[in-house]
Amino acid sequence: MHYILYIVLSVLPSFLFTLTALPVQQRSKLQELLLTTCFVINLSIPFFYAGQYSYACNMGTGVWCWAFGMKMGVWLTMPMEERRKRRFCWTLFYWRLRPQPIKPTKEWQSIPVRPYLMAYLKRQLIFDFLYRLFQWIDTHQSVHVFEKGLANVLGAMYEPRIHHDAAITTGAVLMSFLLCTAFSIYLQLQLQLTYDTIILICAIVYQVLPSLGSHGWIRSVKYYIEDVLTMPPLFHSPWHATSLRDFWSNRWHKIYNDCFYRLGYRPMRKFCRNRWVPALSVFILSGIMHEYFLYCTSGNWRASGFQFLFFVLQTVGVVVGDAIPSRTLGAVWAIAFMVLTSHLFVVPYLVTGYTYMSQFRLVASVWYIIEKGHGMLKNAAYQLGA
| pLDDT one-digit tens code per residue, 245-270 | 999 988 898 888 889 999 999 989 88
83, part of any domain: yes
Q: What is the per-residue pLDDT for 360?
A: 65
Kindly state whether residues 230 and 108 are assigned to the same domain: yes
113 confidence band (pLDDT: 50, 70, 90): very high
137 and 112 within one domain: yes
Query: pLDDT tens across 8-56, in order?
Result: 999 999 999 999 988 777 788 899 999 999 999 999 999 999 989 988 8
Q: Is residue 383 part of a domain?
A: no
d(CA 312, CA 310): 6
Longest dimension (CA), the chain: 84
Same structural domain, 247 and 346: yes
First-to-final CA distance of the chain: 48
253 and 213 within one domain:
no
- Residues 226 and 279 reside in one and the same domain: no
pLDDT tier, 344 (very low <50, low <70, confident <90, very high otherwise): very high
**Same domain membership, residue 285 and residue 217:** no
How high is the pLDDT of residue 155? 54
Is the CB of residue 308 less than 8 Å from the CB of residue 345?
A: no
Average pLDDT over residues 328-343: 92
| Claim to verify: residue 21 and residue 82 sit in the same structural domain | yes
* Residues 112 and 204 occupy one common structural domain: yes
- pLDDT by residue (tens digit) across 266-284? 989 888 878 788 889 999 9
Q: Is 34 exposed, middle or buried (0-12, 13-18, 19+ CB in 10 A)?
A: middle
Residue where a domain stops, chosen among 48, 72, 92: 92
In a domain? residue 166 = yes
Residues 85 and 128 both lie in one domain: no
pLDDT tens sequence across 125-150: 988 888 888 877 767 777 777 777 66
Domain membership flag for residue 363: no
Number of other residues whose CB lies within 10 A of the CB of residue 6: 18
What does residue 241 show for φ and ψ, rounded to 5 degrees?
A: -65, 140
pLDDT confidence of residue 286: 95
Q: How far apart are CA 59 and CA 276, in angstroms?
A: 31
Q: What is the mean pLDDT of the chain?
A: 85
- Cα-trace Rg, the chain: 24
pLDDT at 210 over 70: yes
pLDDT, tens digit (0-9, with 9 covering 90-100), for 142-185: 777 777 766 666 654 445 454 445 567 778 788 888 888 888 88
- Residue 283: which residues within 8 A CB-CB, separation 6 or more? 311, 312, 314, 315
Please give the Cα distance from 121 to 138 (Å, whole number). Answer: 28
Interacting residues of 174 by C-beta distance below 8 A, sequence separation 6+: none
Integer CA distances (angstroms), 139 to 84, 131, 145, 173, 188, in order: 51, 12, 10, 12, 18
Among residues 40, 69, 92, the one where a domain terminates is: 92
Residue 386 pLDDT > 60, yes or no?
A: no
The helix/strand/coil state of 230 is coil
Q: Please state the domain count of the chain.
A: 3
| Same domain, yes or no: 117 and 217 | yes
Per the CB < 8 A criterion, the answer to whether 198 and 253 are in contact is no
The arithmetic mean of pLDDT across residues 207-224, rounded, is 85
> 194 with 270, same domain?
no
- Among 40, 41, 4, 34, CA closest to 19: 34
Same domain as 330, residue 258: yes
Q: What is the extent of the structural domain holding 62?
A: 1-92
